[in-house]
Chain A
Amino acid sequence: EAQVTQNPRYLITVTGKKLTVTCSQNMNHEYMSWYRQDPGLGLRQIYYSMNVEVTDKGDVPEGYKVSRKEKRNFPLILESPSPNQTSLYFCASSSRTDAAGELFFGEGSRLTVL
C-alpha cells in the first residue's frame, strides 16, 4: 500500500531535549516536505526537499533541521525544542520534483513541548 509513515504519532517532551520525527514514503517520490498545523494559522511549510541531498527552507524553518540522505526518508530534527514548537506536524511527498503534483500526507505527529 502506498503510504507516508511518520513516527512517533504522539510525543510529549521537555524544553531542550533533542528529538527526531521520522518520515518514510514507499512510493519512490522525489519531493518531500514538512508542515506544521496550528489552530487559526493553517498549515505552514517548514522545509522541503526536491531530491536526495537537496533541501530548502519553507516559511517557518527556524528551530528545525532536516536531512535527505535517502530518497525514501526525510527526518525532521528539533535540536533544542521549545514550547512554541508544540504543534501537529505533517510530512508529505509527491511524484513531481516540486509540489505541482498530487501530495500524499502522513497521518501526523502531535508534539507537545513542556
Chain B
Amino acid sequence: KQEVTQIPAALSVPEGENLVLNCSFTDSAIYNLQWFRQDPGKGLTSLLLIQSSQREQTSGRLNASLDKSSGRSTLYIAASQPGDSATYLCAVGSINTGTASKLTFGTGTRLQVTL
C-alpha cells in the first residue's frame, strides 16, 4: 500500500529565503505526483503536476523535482514571500492500485513566511 510522508510537518522561514519541501513515497510505481497548496478554510489548489516520465516541472518561483527510484519529490520555493504561507501537500497516483484515479496524499507541510 502506498504511503506518502511529508517532513517537516511545519516550517517557519524569514521572507526572501529559498526553501525546500520534501515528499517521500514507498512505492515507486507511480503514474504521477502532484503538489498542492491549501490555505486555511479553503480547498486545494494544484501547483505542479509531474508525470512519471518527467524529472521536474517549473512554474514561476516554484520548481518540483521527482526521483522515482528513491521515492522522493521536492518542491523548491525561491525568494519566499508572506503570501506563500499555506499548507503544501503532495499526492501520488500509484500504478499498483490499478488506476491513476486513486491518489494517496501526504499530511502536508505547514509553511509560514515571516516579515
Residues on A lying within 8 angstroms of B by beta carbon are: 4, 31, 33, 35, 40-45, 48, 50, 56, 58-59, 90, 92, 98-108
How many A-B residue pairs have C-beta atoms within 8 angstroms? Tell me. 67
Judge if B58 is at the interface, Cβ distance under 8 Å. no
Closest to A31 in B: B101
Verify if B25 is at the interface (C-beta below 8 Å from A): no
Interface of A is mostly: strand
Q: Tell me the complex Cα distance, A31–B66, Å.
A: 25
- Say yes or no: A102-B46 contact (C-beta < 8 A), given A42-B89, A43-B89: yes
Q: Is B7 an interface residue (CB 8 A)?
A: no
**Of A56, A90, A107, the contact of B101 (CB 8 Å cutoff):** A56
Across the two chains, which residue of chain B brings its CB closest to A110?
Answer: B41
Which positions 1-57 of chain B face chain A at CB distance < 8 Å? 4, 31-32, 34, 36, 41-46, 49, 51
Most buried by B among A4, A33, A43, A98: A43
C-alpha gap A4/B44 in the complex (Å): 11
A-B pairs, 7 with minimum CB distance: A105-B43, A98-B100, A43-B105, A42-B107, A105-B44, A100-B100, A98-B101
B25 to chain A, nearest CB (A): 13
CA distance A106 to B101 in the complex (A): 18
Q: How far is the CB of B54 from chain A (nearest CB, A)?
A: 12
Q: Which residue of B lies closest to A41 (CB)?
A: B107
| Interchain CA distance A44-B101 in the complex, whole Å | 13
Given contacts A33-B103, A42-B4, A99-B101, 11 further A-B contacts (CB under 8 A): A42-B108, A43-B89, A45-B103, A50-B101, A98-B93, A100-B93, A101-B49, A104-B46, A107-B43, A108-B42, A108-B43
